[in-house]
Chain A
């Protein structure tokens, strides 16, 4: 009982100054399976469009660039934090993207590919 009484001022202060806090983590887009796929399986000059589709599924966007075909994969993550105090409040939100891009020639063979430096954990 005495301990509770000693803690009361601190609890009262905490109640007065911390009205609410929240955090959120939103994800959108395709699953970024390219982060778990062994790089040996994806080789410029050898891998085909069908193999990429088999490994990663349908892309977020399919773009025709003249003779080239581009598969563009995108995973988006939005993380935010909100702190509501009486005197000071804050909100931060960060959007990060995990991307993979594959360029194929007119025969459907991979000529270039790249993954973003930013990574989003799978799942």
Chain B
């Protein structure tokens, strides 16, 4: 039978942690308020485009799909907690352990050509999105988990620049999920898979 941990031992560990803790951090990146949608709301076959716009407002992105069209709504809340530990005999540096979690929502709505809702699917989940270890200056606050794929500017800002893309991307413009001309893509979808591979982009640099 395992020996019970004495309260004094726990206190000693807590005290040691307090003494070596240095530069702990809490980082948070969010997009918009989360959607609050009942399971029975917006029933397919009965809901019209007007009802969706009145209930949810404009989507984050939309695209022509077949003879109809589709809306995509996305929200996220990314958090990273960092534990900083002082490094013995090294002034001004800390050892940082970071772990990131993400809650995200994606709501896909598909309409027919007349604007009647055909399908609806809301995905709401929480995931771990990575962890990391680094040696940093004490006064530095930098994320160890890359969330730039979520915090990048919306594709609508880049729409006009599409004609200036390098040739492989330009040739793939008809299938580009950012143009609203035939496909949609969730935030942070890797560009090494799917139709983006046709754009022959350079691999993303590792952290």
Q: Check if B25 sits within 8 Å of A91, measured CB to CB.
A: yes
B157 touches A114 (CB 8 A): no
Which of the four size classes fits the interface of chain B? Answer: 35 or more
- The interface residues of chain A, by DSSP majority, are classed as strand
For residue B186, give the distance in angstroms from its CB to the closest CB of chain A: 16
| A95 and B31 in contact, given A60-B157, A64-B181, A72-B156 (Cβ under 8 angstroms) | yes
Q: Mark A61-81, 1 if CB is under 8 A from B, else 0.
A: 101111110101010101000
Which of these, A29, A86, A87, A95, contacts B157 with CB under 8 Å? A29
User: Within 8 Å CB of B159, what residues of A?
Assistant: 60-61
Give complex CA distance A48, B4 in Å.
77
Give bound CA distance, A101 to B50, whole Å.
12
Which segment, of A3-11, A35-43, A49-57, A115-123, faces chain B? A115-123
Least CB distance from B145 to A in Å reads 12
Chain A residues near B22: list those with CB within 8 A.
86-87
B64 neighbours in A (Cβ, 8 Å): 63-66
The 8 closest A-B pairs by CB, nearest first: A114-B53, A101-B58, A89-B25, A99-B58, A63-B180, A116-B57, A60-B156, A89-B141
Question: Chain B residues with Cβ under 8 A from A67's Cβ?
Answer: 113
A112 touches B138 (CB 8 A): no
Of residues 1 through 51 on chain A, the ones whose CB sits less than 8 Å from some CB of chain B are 19-20, 28-29
Q: Judging by beta carbons under 8 Å apart, are A90 and B151 in contact?
A: no
